[in-house]
Amino acid sequence: MTVRIGTRASKLALTQTQQTADQLAAIGGFTVELVHIKTEGDVLTGSLSQMGGTGVFVAALRDALLREACDVAVHSLKDLPTGGTPGLALAATPKRVDARDVLCARDGIKLADLPKGASIGTGSPRRAAQLRAARPDLEIVDIRGNVDTRLGRVPGLPGNTTDAVVSGKSCDLDAVVLAAAGLERIGRLDAVSEFLETDIMLPAAGQGALAIECRLADAPPRPGSSEGSRGVLAQSLAALEDTDTRLAVTAERALLARLEAGCAAPVGAYAYRKGSMLYLEAVVCAVDGTATVRDQRATDGLTEVGATLLGIELAEILLGQGAADIADLAAS
């Protein structure tokens, strides 16, 4: 038996997919084969929000599953639109790693110590808005590219291949903001000058988590459902499932869905379980950072239904506090 696992061809995608493939093979005793799928996000240039958002990294992989060009697809969960695809299932959410954002700055400078007018690169409206709220005196620069390309925009970072200053290409920024999880997976945490705590920057919904999708017929049954499979692949996928991660990302994604927040909406959300409670905190920011609404709630309903209701409840609270007035939630 050979299980074909679809992946984008970026360094980060290949790394996290290979790690997942190795785990599945070890559990199931089958061989695995990586299938490289080119997505619109890998081909198009320009701002991520103008391209159609995070979904541009997912659609081609989902299509490959439906065409049976692969059996499993591995996504960064934050790239997964909140709407599902008929015939496919979110089969497993492995244990989440560090969900925080990180600052990678020249000379190891921290956010509070960057000089007035310093330039910080990010392609995320969520990060840009929260940076402006924290430091309105900084210059936020919209950037694209893979992790190594973005790190290459900051002079002196470990692992950079050049020290030549080329505007728009290399060593031309004071700092960039990236996800801790991605740097951890490709072994570049040495470039981090500061882990940004959630009181400064709430992460994207699902950040730090992986989403493993497959066809519904091959997926392990979800609680309360008879749909799915008891086959070797399904059992192997079930072994990768982390219940606390599933609850947390379910709450975060339910909040996004209720807000009807598009990929370019400046919304941060982070949920975590502590003891018998599931906590969820979220923020909606004006793009220019001049206004924010932020709140948190908790539930003892430690089920997917309970997590979903928590996300909806907090979204309603934020909307009641004017979230839709300060941000274009439908931005795509």
> How confident is the model over 26-73, as pLDDT tens digits?
999 999 999 999 865 544 445 544 444 456 679 999 999 999 999 999
Q: Which residues have a Cβ under 8 Å from the Cβ of 311 and sit 6 or more positions away?
A: 250, 251, 252, 253, 254, 255, 256, 257, 258, 269, 271, 280
pLDDT of residue 328: 83
Q: What angle do CA 187, 192, 193 make, to 5 degrees?
A: 160
In this structure, of 14-23, 53-62, 118-127, the range with the lowest mean pLDDT score is: 53-62
> How confident is the model over 263-318, as pLDDT tens digits?
778 999 999 999 999 999 999 999 999 999 999 999 999 999 999 999 999 999 99
Active site residue 300: no
Of 79, 101, 174, 218, the active-site residue reads 79
Place of tokens 């893979």: 146
Cα separation, 34 vs 3, in Å, equals 9
pLDDT at 96 over 80: yes
The backbone torsions φ and ψ at residue 91, rounded to the nearest 5 degrees and listed phi first, read -75, -30
Average pLDDT value for residue range 203-223: 95
pLDDT of residue 40: 56
Residue among 73, 108, 75 at smallest CA distance from 233: 73
Q: What angle do CA 122, 212, 230 make, to 5 degrees?
A: 170
Average pLDDT value for residue range 154-169: 96
Specify the pTM. Answer: 0.91
Cα separation, 12 vs 258, in Å, equals 30
